[in-house]
Amino acid sequence: MTTRKDIIKQFKTDVESKLTLANGYNTSLVEVRLGICSFDQFAQRPALGYWMFLDEKDTENYGTTRLRWLNFYIYFYTDDENMTDYEKIYDLADDIETFIMSSHWTHTDATLLGDLIVTVGGVEEGRAMGDLVIKVGYYQGCD
């Protein structure tokens, strides 16, 4: 049976190895981290961070198993020198959504995609950020 630890590890493995230019994406990530990191804590960009912020139970139980939803917060950064269109951050946002809903993500059939937010500009020119929440369903044994 898949555990929350398995899903967390699998996300990093899949995103590092499969979200690449070679697989038809617009972006190849140069750094992926589990946990909370600021823009400057990533040595290079484009970069992606993620963590699990909630493991909620579904209302349905099936015999000795219970459906649970593992909620991930995914955030990502780019350096964008072209301040007029922020092309890199929008390409990366598209790539992440495509990755989550493709066969490149091991748990795509059990994943719900939430809202995507992209933030550009501001005081730190050339920096852009996006974030997204996904829910991954898995079954937990109930003894």
What domains appear along the chain, each with residue ranges and CATH number? 4-141 (3.30.70.1700)
User: Running DSSP on this structure, what letter comes out for residue 90?
Assistant: H
Rounded Cα distance between 57 and 142, Å, is: 12
CA atoms within 13 A on the CB side of 110: 14
**Over its length of 143 residues, how does the chain's per-residue pLDDT go in tens digits?**
678 899 999 999 999 999 999 999 999 999 999 999 999 999 999 999 999 988 888 776 666 677 889 999 999 999 876 666 788 899 999 999 999 999 999 999 999 999 999 988 766 677 889 999 999 998 876 55
Token pair recorded at residue 138: 């898995």
CA neighbor of 120 nearest in space, from 94, 74, 85: 85
Could you tell me the pTM of the whole model?
0.87
